[in-house]
């Protein structure tokens, strides 16, 4: 960083031989976070994590970020409250930034109708991955568990369908429930996994909108179809219990893990010949990963549950505009 915050512009000097990777994502109060149930620190963390997850899927090393903050208009007497919230947002962001060794290089504060955090993250990669590049026959590999973030949101909201999932889920203080809530409030971007996978994978995407939705983005960009064996999905025991309870209530048997969203797992397509290399590289990063299916010629996604075919869920994922 040649020049950072305090000016209108940041000045950056990328290394030679690498490519600069840029992504932008906005979090809006009332849509992506809710300051009545989550702390401002969590919202700051999550805004940055969502962007780092996009860089991770590109196989890029995060380096810098810019943050545009929208602050609600309130009477002057309430400014100290705003300042406290802004500081907390910043400290959540700063802690993750330090852990990932990245620098805030620019920002902007404006008044708005409510809180919003728009982050642009910049990273470097030698061979960036994108959604394009998967071919029929490629194996689909999922790094990280799915369903926990959606379960965490339901637990926070006291959703009765999930409260009935078992004794454990009822008690928010259990380790398993707290892990699900943590996955929702403070997701961990799988940066090291993305870097490790980049030399092996043909295409990649992060699971932010829901596994099926993000898979369909990857397939559309790569012009192929796929089949997925849901029995291979990495799910916590509590997610399994909650999904079983939801299934008894008539929902899809993998409602949370297929369509839940906000897991920030990584989905890769990899040629058969490079599959072992990819799995070994991911194992070294300590992130659980598993082959969950395969790309096929044609269009669309077929679901299986072991040997049985499974219908698609009605709701395939999270669409912020689908309210």
Q: 10 Å Cβ neighbour count for 206?
A: 25
Q: Which of 49, 52, 66, 256: binder of a second copy (CB under 8 A)?
A: 66
268 binds a second copy (CB under 8 A): no
CA 216 – CA 198 distance, rounded (Å): 20
CA 126 – CA 124 distance, rounded (Å): 7
DSSP state letters, 248-275:
HTTS-TTHHHHH-----EEEEEE-GGGH
CA 27 – CA 17 distance, rounded (Å): 33
Q: Which of 7, 34, 170, 272: binder of a second copy (CB under 8 A)?
A: 7
Closest CB to a second copy among 86 and 161? 86
Q: 10 Å Cβ neighbour count for 84?
A: 11
Q: Which of 77, 110, 306, 307: binder of a second copy (CB under 8 A)?
A: 110
> Residue 296: which H helix or E strand, with range?
strand 289-296
Nearest to 278 by CA among 191, 198, 218, 189: 198
Closest CB to a second copy among 42 and 206? 206
91 binds a second copy (CB under 8 A): no
Q: Which of 101, 108, 244, 298: binder of a second copy (CB under 8 A)?
A: 108
CA 84 – CA 141 distance, rounded (Å): 42
3 binds a second copy (CB under 8 A): yes
Q: Which stretch binds a second copy (CB under 8 A): 64-72, 88-96, 170-178, 300-308?
A: 64-72
Angle, nearest 10°, between helix axes 79-99 and 40-57?
Answer: 40
In the complex, minimum distance from the CB of residue 189 to a second copy, in angstroms, rounded to a whole number: 12
Q: Is 278 helix (H, G, I), strand (E, B) or coil?
A: helix
Q: Which stretch binds a second copy (CB under 8 A): 121-129, 147-155, 157-165, 307-315?
A: 121-129
Q: Which of 38, 118, 257, 316: binder of a second copy (CB under 8 A)?
A: 118
- Residues found near a second copy in the complex (CB under 8 A): 2-3, 6-14, 16, 19-28, 30-32, 54-55, 57-58, 60, 64, 66-68, 70-71, 73, 105-114, 116, 118, 120, 122, 125, 128, 130-132, 205-206, 208, 221, 320-321, 323
């Amino acid at each position: 960083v040649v020049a950072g915050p305090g000016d209108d512009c940041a000045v950056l000097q990328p290394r030679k031989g690498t490519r600069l990777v840029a992504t932008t994502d906005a979090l809006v109060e009332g849509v992506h976070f809710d300051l009545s149930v989550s702390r401002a620190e969590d919202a700051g963390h999550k805004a940055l994590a969502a962007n780092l997850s996009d860089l991770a899927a590109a196989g890029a090393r995060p380096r810098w970020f810019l943050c545009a903050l929208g602050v609600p208009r309130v009477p002057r007497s309430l400014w100290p409250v705003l300042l406290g919230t802004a500081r907390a947002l910043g400290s959540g962001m700063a802690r993750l930034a330090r852990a990932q060794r990245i620098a805030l290089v620019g920002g902007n504060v404006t008044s708005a109708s409510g809180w919003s955090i728009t982050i642009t993250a910049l990273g470097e990669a030698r061979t960036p991955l994108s959604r394009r590049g998967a071919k029929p026959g490629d194996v689909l590999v999922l790094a990280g568990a799915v369903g926990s973030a959606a379960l965490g949101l339901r637990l926070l909201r006291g959703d009765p369908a999930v409260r009935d999932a078992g004794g454990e889920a009822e008690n928010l203080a259990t380790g398993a429930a707290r892990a699900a809530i943590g996955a929702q409030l403070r997701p961990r971007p799988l940066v090291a996994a993305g870097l490790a996978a980049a030399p092996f994978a043909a295409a990649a995407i992060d699971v932010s909108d829901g596994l099926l939705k993000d898979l369909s983005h990857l397939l559309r960009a790569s012009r192929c179809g796929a089949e997925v064996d849901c029995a291979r999905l990495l799910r916590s025991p509590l997610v399994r219990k909650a999904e079983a309870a939801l299934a008894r209530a008539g929902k899809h048997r993998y409602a949370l893990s297929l369509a839940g969203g906000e897991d920030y797992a990584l989905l890769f397509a990899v040629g058969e010949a490079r599959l072992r290399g990819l799995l070994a590289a991911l194992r070294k990063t300590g992130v659980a990963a598993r082959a969950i299916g395969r790309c096929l010629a044609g269009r669309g996604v077929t679901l299986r549950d072991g040997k049985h075919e499974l219908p698609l869920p009605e709701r395939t994922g999270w669409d912020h505009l689908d309210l």
